[in-house]
Every structure is written in structure tokens, then in C-alpha cells.
Amino acid sequence: MMHWIRGALPHHEETNVIFFRGLPLDALVRGLLVQRRMPLAYGTTPGWGMLMHDMNSWDSGDHDLAHYGRLCKGGGELAVFVTEPCWVKAHGPLFEYYRDGNLITGFNFENPSNPVGEEPDLLQPVLMAANLIGPMSDLDRDDNEERTVQAIAGFFSLPELEMP
């Protein structure tokens, strides 16, 4: 079984996975539709909800990421996983965490020791504990992406995403 970070929806490339809280699902869906991103699947649990959407716009030529800060203004939180930012070039996933419309922290899975945002070091302790950054880091392991997701999910108490 493939972990969802390596293919969130079978037979569908370039799917982003968003965990959200503090905002209603319909507001998130409307915001994505305004940005011409097609919602594909969703689920809700106590605490965090989850939504998957096409990374790219349905407009030809629009390959930029969605503007996630616009989607969670007014108290919402988003934990965004861009599972295949450029599958043709085989780039690793990206992670971004937004709170109240602001990028709090984000990084590329290929270089988790170089985060950005208002609190770039927010996840550094859990990434170090998972040996993903720091002097004991082991980025050559085959399960690097899964370990990164597990560290992030544990920190934010994200629900488990079951995939068939």
C-alpha cells in the first residue's frame, strides 16, 4: 500500500491535501472554487477536517499554488500538503501551515532544515526528533516522506488519513 503523501488519490496526479479547522467546509470549498481549484474529496472529524483538491487551476497555464492565506482569514487554520508539486521533475512534497491568513511555517520535504514563515522553526524540534534534520538526520531513507508526515501530524494532532 502506498502512503497518501506519494499519491493522495489513486490515478490522479497533483492532488493537494488540506487539513482545516476553525472554518466551515463550505467556506473552504467556495474559496477554492473562486481560485479555480476543483475539490475532489473531503472528510470531517472532531478537531480537524480534511479536503483534497486539484493542485492546478482548471484554467490552462495556471500552475501556481492556491493562495491558502486567503482561505483561512478570521481565525481558521490550514495544514497543507502539496503531494506532488512537480511530478514531472520528481520534486518532493511541500508543507505549509497557515493560521488566521498568515503563513506560520512551511518547507520543502527535500530540505526541511530551511523553513519559511512567521515562525519558521515551529516544527524544527519534532523534525529533529524524527532525525529529519540536525546532526543525526537521515534523509536517504526510503520512508523519509512518510516520517515527515508523521512528525507533522503528531505535532498538530492531525487525524489519520486512511487510504485503500
Tell me the pLDDT of the chain (164 aa) as tens digits. 456 677 666 666 678 999 999 999 999 999 999 999 989 888 888 899 999 998 877 775 656 788 999 999 888 999 999 987 665 455 678 999 999 999 999 999 988 999 999 999 999 999 999 999 988 887 777 788 899 999 999 999 999 876 55
Give the pLDDT confidence score for residue 68 in this predicted structure.
94
Give the pLDDT confidence score for residue 1 in this predicted structure.
44
DSSP state of 6: G
What is the spatial distance between Cα 14 and Cα 40, in angstroms, rounded to a whole number?
Answer: 12
Give the pLDDT confidence score for residue 12 in this predicted structure.
64
Give the pLDDT confidence score for residue 141 in this predicted structure.
76
Give the pLDDT confidence score for residue 101 in this predicted structure.
95
Nearest to 39 by CA among 11, 58, 24, 60: 58
pTM of structure: 0.90
CA-CA distances (angstroms) from residue 90 to 11, 22, 23, 85?
A: 16, 33, 33, 8
Give the pLDDT confidence score for residue 8 in this predicted structure.
60
